[in-house]
Amino acid sequence: MLMELNDMQSAHVTYSYFANVLAAEFGARITAYVPRAPANRWKSLAFSLKKLLRLEEIGVYESFGATDFLIVYVSAANRMKASELAADILAKSHTKRDIEELTISGVWLGDLIYDTYLRRFSKPTIELSSSEFQRSLLESLELFAFWQEYFDTHDVQAVNVSHCVYDLAIPLRVAVARNIPAFQASTTHMYRMSQTELFAYNDFHYFRERFAAQPQPVRQAGVEEARRRIERRFAGKVGVDMAYSTKSAYGANRHARLLRESPRKKILIATHCFFDSPHSYGKNVFPDFYEWLEFLGKISEVTDYDWYIKTHPDYLAGTREIIENFIARYPRFTLLPADASHHQIIAEGVDVALTVYGTIAFEYAALGIPVINNSLNNPHIAYGFNLHSKDENDYRRLLLGLDTLEFSIDTDQVYEYYFMRYIYNTEDLFFNSYETTVKALGGYKGQFTPAVYEQWLDEWSQEKHNAILAALSRFVQSGDFRMDYSHYGRELSVQSILGKQ
């Protein structure tokens, strides 16, 4: 079985259990693989030396049973195949959507190629004619050719990856196309992928039916706990159910008036990071976040609204420059300070917020502000507290009709969603409390250091060890999409919900 080799130490705790469960389930040996080809011969030499001396993650993987360590080697035949594919693809591709929808030998690769390029080069969108994109395309196809050949010549029984996006997911997609069990595992989540479920975290499609199946006391306690946590967010508390967050967007007012006083509709665009995998949940109305923004720029020219843009407080380098360039071309937009409080924006009269699939969708809904999601693959899709555009024409209709928009929000649905997204599904699969562990390690990034091993060992007991192995076995044998409480043989209860406070 193939287990991705990486240096994400907290995930190694998960892998140490999961690799052995999969190996036992399928009668396979554990092969750890480097997900990308070395950038040069020195990188290749460094890996060989690390393997010889059993250094760093090599030693860790060997400690839990990995017997083989595979490095991606792109052969001359792989390069020739990739070159032929690239030439054919570029000759037939005329739009960004053509790249996004690219499928080869029954394997959907377009979204992976698309997002890999954006991330690697910090670009907001692709340019088919650019040498950078064409080189990135070729390298992704070389990786695909390698994995196709590897699966053809080896008896792969199962695959585990760290991400379902970027070219990291190519072996997962190849496995899924061949009906080989494929998984995505981390410290906090465990998913089984399939031809109908290619993306981790998409269990939001089933939230409503799973909530309805809970006993009434659990539903009531869950909604109340969700309300309490959302109120903590709105009070400016940092990191509530978002361990990676370092700044709050709901703090006290920090600026003089932000929105113009006018009778016009005031529209807020809550931008996403352009480079951070637009296809995290699948396809959206537009192939990337920049194309979405461009569409809104054109809409701004034919509407009499006041348009505002706000980035996330934790925006990545390069984001602001892209937005400033956009505003220079579409001057009806006003860029708000990144640290502006949403409380101030709402108090000054914002009417509608726009996002593709961001958390502002449930946050603004909880505060009574309509939000339009620009995707049918968004975490809020099962609920009616937002509007969801299904295509460009539908989006245009919604945007041009904002002056007559009548939309009511059921905040109970917002709390139900939050309960199902952040409370019902536990993150405490391998640590007694993931939140406590992160705090003990000095913050989110602390889990990606060897110190996390000590945290795990401090909690270790034979009883807990056996319980994890048994739960993982049940999950693998069940065929379920996501691992949860039930695989541990327990159900969510009012007591466990209250214990999360």
| Residue 329: burial class (beta carbons within 10 Å; 0-12, 13-18, 19+) | exposed
Provide the pLDDT confidence category of residue 253 given band limits of 50, 70 and 90: confident
CATH no. of 225-421: 3.40.50.2000
For residues 373-401, average pLDDT: 97
pLDDT for position 247: 62
Q: Percentage of the chain surpassing pLDDT 70?
A: 97
Q: So what's the pLDDT on residue 248?
A: 64
Distance CA 272, CA 269 (A): 9
pLDDT at 113 over 70: yes
Average pLDDT, the chain: 94
Averaged over 376-398, what is the pLDDT?
97
Q: Is the pLDDT of residue 396 over 60?
A: yes
pLDDT at 255: 81
Q: Above 80 in pLDDT, residue 284?
A: yes
What amino acid occupies position 498? L
- Quick one: pLDDT band at residue 319, thresholds 50, 70, 90? confident
Res 241 pLDDT > 80:
no
The predicted-structure confidence for 446-496, as pLDDT tens digits, reads as follows 999 999 999 999 999 999 999 999 999 999 999 999 999 899 988 777 877
How far apart are the C-alpha atoms of 256 and 309, rounded to whole Å? Answer: 17
Which of 122, 120, 5 lies closest to 66, judged by CA?
5
> What's the pLDDT at 359?
94
Nearest in space to 112 (alpha carbons), one of 47, 71, 336, 104: 104
Q: Using one digit for the tens of pLDDT, what is the confidence trace for 155-179?
A: 999 999 999 999 999 999 999 999 9
What's the pLDDT score for residue 491? Answer: 78
- Sketch the domain layout of the chain as residue ranges: 2-76+135-201, 225-421
